[in-house]
Structure formats: C-alpha cells, structure tokens
Amino acid sequence: MFDFLKKKLKEVAEKITGKQKEIEEEKEKIVKEPEIVVKEKIEEKIPEIKEEVKEIKKDKSLFSKLKEKIVKKVLEKKLTREDLEPILENFEVELLEADVAFEVSEKIKNDLIKELEGKEIRKGSEKEVVVEAIRKSLSGILDLPKINLEEEIKKKKPYLMVFFGFNGSGKTTTIAKVANFLTKKGFTCVLAAGDTFRAASIEQIEEHAKKIGVPVIKQKYGADPAAVIFDARKYAEAKKIDVVLADTAGRSYTNENLMEELKKIVRVNKPDLKVLVIDSLTGNDAINQAKFFNEIGVDAVIFTKLDVNEKGGAILSVSYLLKKPILFICDGQKYEDIKYFDKEEFLNNLLSF
Ligand code: GDP
C-alpha cells in the first residue's frame, strides 16, 4: 500500500540524510587533516587565485589565522536552508506524481526546512531525525477532529448517515460495509435507496442489503431521494432501528442538478453525519471532489480502494483541504474490508523504510 508515495518520501529522506553525513565527514576530516581541508576550502571558494593561495600558505601567521577560522566554521556547520532548498527543489512536482496536492507538499517542504535548519544532529541518528521531521509534518496535516461513531449513535437514534460521492467511488459498497460493521457491533441498521437516478442502483443496494441481512427502503426510479430517505427515517423510528444509512446519486456529468438534490436531502432530513466517499485512486481530482461536495458541508470522509492504491496522496490532500475526520478506510471488495482510520498506523506504514 502506498509504495509510490513511500518511495518518494524515502528518496527525500535519503538525500537530506546524505547531506548531513557529508557535513559530518567534513568535520571528521578537518580534525584529522586540517591543512588539506583548509587548502581545499580556500581553493574551492577562490580557484582563480591559486597562486596567491601559495603565498598565503607561506605566510604562517596569515595562514594559521585563516585556518583557525575555517576549522571553526566547518566544526560548527549544521544543515542550512541553502543545503536543504536544492534537495527539496523538485519536491512538489515529485509528490504531485504521488497525488499529493501542490499546497500540501509545499507545506511539507516548509515544515522540513523549519524543523531541520540548524538542528543539532547526533552522528548515527541522521535518518531517524529526518524521518521524524517528515512524520511531524504529515502528522500535522492529519491532525483532524475525531468522531466516535458508536458513541454518537448511542446518543441519538435513529442516527442518519447520508453518503455522497462521485460515481464509482465505491459509495454503495461502502454503505453495505458500514452497515455490516455496525451490525456486528450490535447496532440495527436500515438502508435507504436514495440513488433513484442511476440504472440498477436500487437493485444493487437491495442485493447488498439481502447479503448482510438488513432492510432497505426504496421507491421507484426518478422518485425524490429526499422523500426516500425521509421514509427510511420514519421506518427506523417506528421499528426502533439505530442507524439509517442513505445512498445518494453519484455526481456525474449528466446529473447537473445533483447539488440542488443534495441540498434538499439535507434540508428535509437534517442528517446527523454527511459522509463523503472518495476513491483514493482518483488522484489529484480528489481535491476537486472534496471542494465540490463541501458546498453542502462534509462531516466525515471515507477513503476506498486503498488495497489497490500505490500513491496515497489523496488522503493527505483531502485532509489538508477539508480538515474533517476520516471515519473509515476501505481496502478491498469484501464487506469486512473496512476499518476505522488510525493515523499512527497510516504514518508507520508510510514511513517504514
Ligand atoms: P458507487 O458508484 O460509488 O456506488 O460505487 P460502487 O459501490 O458500485 O463501487 C464501484 C466499484 O468499486 C465496485 O466494483 C466495487 O466492488 C469497487 N470497490 C468499492 N470499494 C472498494 C475497495 O475498497 N477496494 C476495491 N478494490 N474495490 C472497491
């Protein structure tokens, strides 16, 4: 999972670590062979005055003064912004390839410079320090509010969750997974076939409901989804069902009125949780999807298809933009392939190199 993003982060960590090691090697060399290093340093800076350097070397007092200054400078050298900037020059473009939005990689880059510039780094701990700096930055991006779904459901029954997302994001499958997950936790669920637009969507949700053994409330194709969800809520109230999980039509280019439809669903039914389902493979378009649905207000996000995702950047990008809890992540086509998002586990996986 996320091998591509992992590779990109590993590369940058290695480059910074390498630079730090170069600094250390120079320090060791200047302690062992000060004359040679000092000569190199002088020539490196002013190659065109090689002859004069010879003269300087003859002048013992001038040379030793210069030597003292250079040795001190080398021994005091730490990573600087000037060391880090060229390493991180193409960072944004590299991470863009892993679906990390430009603003996000820019933030990571600035965080790294801020964290590592002038830092005292013990020999042998270079990699650890650099990886820790990356972790700190990513952890900040994923510092999102949390939702304790099970506690929320216990507080308000029936608890209405409305799911929205682009076509094919895995919305219907995810609703079935969440219903199955909650059923296993001892909650009762009903599904609402609120996608009355896409052909076969009602049959699809019915099939899922049958497999996981929960009821589904439906009307005909073309019916008002707000009304279908309203019916499902009334059904849940009457039958004392804990959770209503409502499907909605996916965004597609032929469904221009979707936003109005979603606003009506929200106005009429006042969901307890508006859940955006995002296919993590969507790449950089994930940001546009998040912006689009945020117009009606997103309360939580679920990312799907992590099992087939090499990149992983969409999670960082959408989180940075929306700053909303990641409720679940889905990593497969089976009903069991769903779990609560665990930031530490995510970071450990990403930084295990
Ligand atoms: P919807 O149009 O958003 O309702 O999407 P569907 O629920 O119909 O899912 C679209 C496709 O994605 C189906 O083939 C699902 O089996 C597949 N899918 C959904 N979630 C996952 C997941 O986490 N991993 C994988 N590999 N496939 C998934």
Identify the residue with better confidence: 284 or 220.
220
Tell if the pTM clears 0.75, that is, is over it: yes
pLDDT at 255: 61
CB proximity list for 57: less than 8 A, separation 6 or greater: 39, 63
State which H helix or E strand residue 316 sits in.
Answer: helix 313-322
Q: Tell me the CA–centroid distance for residue 142 and ligand 1, in Å.
A: 25
pLDDT in tens, 39-78: 787 777 666 666 666 776 677 777 788 888 888 988 988 9
CB 282 within 8 A of CB 169: yes
pLDDT in tens, 119-137: 989 889 999 999 999 999 9
Distance separating alpha carbons of residues 307 and 313, to the nearest angstrom: 14
Ligand 1 pocket, residue 172 CB under 6 Å? yes
Ligand 1 pocket, residue 225 CB under 6 Å? no
Which residue among 196, 307, 328, 333 has the greatest number of ligand 1 atoms within 8 angstroms of its CB, and so is best to mutate? Answer: 333
Mean pLDDT over 317-331 rounds to: 96
State which H helix or E strand residue 105 sits in.
Answer: helix 102-116
Paired tokens of 34: 């000060």
Ligand 1 pocket, residue 331 CB under 6 Å? yes
Ligand 1 pocket, residue 339 CB under 6 Å? no
Question: What atom of ligand 1 comes closest to residue 308's alpha carbon?
Answer: 26
Nearest CA to ligand 1 atom 19: 170
Roughly what angle, to the nearest 10 degrees, separates helices 34-45 and 3-32? 120
Nearest CA to ligand 1 atom 13: 170
Ligand 1 pocket, residue 207 CB under 6 Å? no
> Which three-class secondary structure state does DSSP give residue 155?
helix
Ligand 1 pocket, residue 105 CB under 6 Å? no
pLDDT in tens, 140-198: 999 999 999 999 999 999 999 999 999 899 999 999 999 999 999 999 999 999 999 88
Strand partners for 192:
217, 246
Distance separating alpha carbons of residues 103 and 2, to the nearest angstrom: 20
Q: In what order do the strands lie in the sheet with 159-165?
A: 216-217, 189-192, 243-246, 159-165, 273-279, 300-304, 326-330, 338-340
- Report the Cα–Cα distance between both ends of the chain, in Å, rounded: 13
Which sign, positive or negative, has the C-alpha torsion 40, 45, 50, 53? negative
Model confidence at 322: pLDDT above 90: yes
CB proximity list for 340: less than 8 A, separation 6 or greater: 327, 328
Distance separating alpha carbons of residues 245 and 233, to the nearest angstrom: 9
Ligand 1 pocket, residue 22 CB under 6 Å? no
Ligand 1 pocket, residue 183 CB under 6 Å? no
Nearest CA to ligand 1 atom 17: 170
Which residue among 167, 173, 206, 334 has the greatest number of ligand 1 atoms within 8 angstroms of its CB, and so is best to mutate? Answer: 173
